[in-house]
C-alpha cells in the first residue's frame, strides 16, 4: 500500500496543469466547498487523480492519498499503537501512529482513495462511518472527530472487475458522483504534447487517433487510455534517436505502438488474433501500409540492421 500526504503543492505528482476539465473541476470545487464527499468515476487514465491534485493544490488543502487494494485493512487506514512503545508506556495517545484516515480527519484535509472498489468490506465500513458521522471511535484511543474540511474523495473505474460488487448503495448514497469519461481527441493531443514536447502536431494527432481507435474495435474489450498515447510518442522519440532516424518513421512508430499498446488492450475471449496483430492492423489503418523500399529515406536504411524488431 502506498500512502502519501502533502499540504499545498504536490512535489511528485507530475504536471498539475489540467486540460479541458473545467466543468468537472468546477463541480469538484463546489462539492468540496459544500462539505460533500465525492466519487470520481471513470475509466483508467481519464484524469481523476490529476484533477483532484489540481483542485486540492489550488485550494492549498491537506491531501492524503491512499491506494485502494486488498491489503488496506481498517488498521492500516486508521493507524495503530506502536507495539514496542506499548510495552514501556502502555496505550497512551501520543504513541498512536495515525493512518491516512486519522491524518486527514485531524487536519481537516482530503482523504483520496484510489480504486475504492478494491478495498476490503470492513475497511469500506470504516469509511462509511467516518463519512456520515464525521468521527470514529478507535479502541483504546477513543473518539476522534474530523476537523472542518475533512472529506473523502474516492476514485473508481466502473469497468474494474475486481471487487466491484462490494461497492454498495450506502457509498453512492453518501457521495456526489462526478463522471469522468475519455478526453476529447484535441485534449488528448494536448496532454501528449505536455509530456512530449517538440513533436510534430500532425504526427501526434495520428498517434492519438491510433490510441482512440483501440477503444472502438470489435476484437477489443478495453482499449488504451491516453497513457498509451504518451508512451507511443515518448518511445518513438527515443527509438528514432537510437536508430538514427526521424520520430515519424513508419517502422519506429509501429515498434513503439506494439510495445506501448499490446499490453494495454484486452481482447475479447475467443479472438483468434494476438494483441500485436490487432495493434498492427490499427496502425496500418491510421498510418498507412508499410512503405515500399523505393519510398524509403536512405538515411533510415540502418533500420534493417540487427536489433530492429521484425515487423510482420
Ligand atoms: N485532463 C488532463 N489534463 C492533463 N493531463 C491529463 C489529463 N487527463 C489525463 N492526463 C494525464 O494522463 C495520465 C493519466 O491521468 P490520471 O493519473 O490523472 O488518470 P486517472 O483517471 O487517475 O487514472 P487511474 O484510474 O488509472 O488512476 C497522467 O499522466 C496525466 O498527467
Ligand atoms: Mg488515478
Cα–Cα distance between 5 and 17 in angstroms, integer? 20
Phi, psi of 137 (to 5 degrees): -110, 120
Ligand showing the shortest atom-to-Cα distance for residue 42:
1
Q: How many Å separate Cα 151 from the centre of its chain?
A: 20
Ligand showing the shortest atom-to-Cα distance for residue 44:
1
Which of 20, 4, 69, 38 has its CA nearest to residue 226?
20
What is the 183 CA–ligand 1 centroid distance (Å)?
10
Set of cell numbers at residue 273: 488474433
Reported as half-sphere exposure (CB side, CA atoms, 13 A), residue 158 has a value of 13
Asked whether residue 311 carries a pLDDT value surpassing 80, the answer given is: no
Residue among 14, 18, 38, 49 whose CB has most ligand 1 atoms within 8 A, to mutate: 49
Cα–Cα distance between 151 and 157 in angstroms, integer? 20
Phi, psi of 114 (to 5 degrees): -85, 150
To the nearest 10°, the Cα dihedral for 207, 50, 215, 228? 40
* pLDDT single digits (tens) 79-121: 999 999 999 999 999 999 999 999 999 999 999 999 998 899 9
Classify residue 65 by its DSSP letter.
E
Burial of residue 215 (CB within 10 Å: 0-12, 13-18, 19+) is: middle
Check residue 197 and give its pLDDT.
Answer: 87
Cα–Cα distance between 67 and 119 in angstroms, integer? 9
Asked whether residue 302 carries a pLDDT value surpassing 80, the answer given is: no
Q: Is 191 in the pocket of ligand 1 (CB under 6 A)?
A: yes
What is the 4 CA–ligand 2 centroid distance (Å)?
13
Ligand showing the shortest atom-to-Cα distance for residue 231:
1
Task: Annotate 42-62 with three-state secondary structure.
Answer: CCCCCCHHHHHHHHHHHCCCC
* pLDDT single digits (tens) 123-171: 999 999 999 999 999 999 999 999 999 999 999 988 776 655 567 788 9
Q: Is the pTM of this model over 0.75?
A: yes
The number of beta carbons lying within 10 Å of the beta carbon of residue 115 is: 19
Residue among 2, 46, 51, 260 whose CB has most ligand 1 atoms within 8 A, to mutate: 46
Asked whether residue 5 carries a pLDDT value surpassing 60, the answer given is: no
What is the 107 CA–ligand 2 centroid distance (Å)?
23
Ligand showing the shortest atom-to-Cα distance for residue 41:
1
Q: Is 183 in the pocket of ligand 1 (CB under 6 A)?
A: yes
Cα–Cα distance between 211 and 225 in angstroms, integer? 7
Question: Which residue's CA is the nearest one to ligand 1's atom 1?
Answer: 19
Q: Is 227 in the pocket of ligand 1 (CB under 6 A)?
A: yes
Set of cell numbers at residue 141: 484511543
What is the 113 CA–ligand 1 centroid distance (Å)?
15
Residue with cell 479502541: 139
Asked whether residue 70 carries a pLDDT value surpassing 60, the answer given is: yes
Question: Ligand 1, closest atom to CA 50?
Answer: 18
Task: Annotate 242-290 with three-state secondary structure.
Answer: HHCCCCCCHHHHHHHHHHHHCCCCEECCCCCCCHHHHHHHHHHHHHCCC
Set of cell numbers at residue 8: 499545498
Question: Which residue's CA is the nearest one to ligand 1's atom 29?
Answer: 227
Asked whether residue 205 carries a pLDDT value surpassing 80, the answer given is: yes
Q: Is 226 in the pocket of ligand 1 (CB under 6 A)?
A: yes
Cα–Cα distance between 302 and 299 in angstroms, integer? 7
Residue with cell 499545498: 8
Dihedral sign for Cα 20, 21, 22, 23, please.
positive
Indicate the pLDDT class of residue 12, thresholds 50, 70 and 90: very low
List, in order of start, the domains of the chain with CATH numbers.
3-179 (3.40.50.300), 185-304 (1.10.8.80)
Question: Ligand 1, closest atom to CA 46?
Answer: 21
Amino acid at each position: 500500500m502506498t500512502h502519501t500526504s502533502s499540504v499545498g503543492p504536490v512535489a511528485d505528482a507530475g504536471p498539475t496543469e489540467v486540460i479541458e476539465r473545467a466543468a468537472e473541476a468546477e463541480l469538484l470545487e463546489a462539492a468540496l466547498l459544500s462539505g460533500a464527499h465525492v466519487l470520481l468515476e471513470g475509466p483508467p487514465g481519464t484524469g481523476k487523480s490529476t484533477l483532484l491534485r489540481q483542485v486540492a493544490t489550488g485550494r492549498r488543502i491537506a491531501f492524503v492519498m491512499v491506494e485502494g487494494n486488498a491489503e488496506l485493512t481498517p488498521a492500516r487506514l486508521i493507524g495503530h499503537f506502536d507495539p514496542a512503545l506499548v510495552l514501556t508506556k502502555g496505550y497512551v495517545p501520543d504513541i498512536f501512529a495515525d493512518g491516512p484516515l486519522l491524518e486527514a480527519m485531524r487536519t481537516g484535509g482530503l482523504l483520496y482513495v484510489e480504486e475504492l472498489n478494491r478495498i476490503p468490506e470492513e475497511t469500506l465500513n470504516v469509511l462509511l462511518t467516518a463519512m456520515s458521522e464525521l468521527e470514529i471511535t478507535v479502541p483504546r484511543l477513543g473518539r476522534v472527530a474530523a476537523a472542518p474540511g475533512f472529506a473523502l474523495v474516492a476514485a473508481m473505474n466502473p469497468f474494474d472487475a475486481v471487487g466491484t460488487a462490494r461497492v454498495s448503495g450506502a457509498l453512492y448514497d453518501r457521495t456526489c458522483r462526478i463522471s469522468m469519461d475519455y478526453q476529447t481527441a484535441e485534449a488528448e493531443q494536448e496532454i501528449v504534447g505536455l509530456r512530449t514536447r517538440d513533436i510534430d502536431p500532425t504526427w501526434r494527432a495520428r498517434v492519438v487517433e491510433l490510441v482512440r481507435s483501440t477503444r472502438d474495435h470489435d476484437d477489443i474489450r478495453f482499449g488504451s487510455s491516453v497513457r498509451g498515447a504518451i508512451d507511443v510518442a515518448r518511445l518513438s522519440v527515443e527509438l528514432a534517436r537510437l536508430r538514427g532516424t526521424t520520430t515519424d518513421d513508419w517502422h519506429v512508430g509501429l515498434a513503439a505502438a506494439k510495445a506501448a499498446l499490446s499490453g494495454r488492450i484486452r481482447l475479447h475471449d475467443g479472438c483468434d488474433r494476438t494483441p500485436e496483430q490487432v495493434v498492427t492492423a490499427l496502425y496500418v489503418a491510421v498510418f498507412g501500409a508499410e512503405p515500399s523500399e523505393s519510398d524509403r529515406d536512405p538515411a533510415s536504411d540502418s533500420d534493417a540492421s540487427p536489433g530492429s524488431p521484425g515487423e510482420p
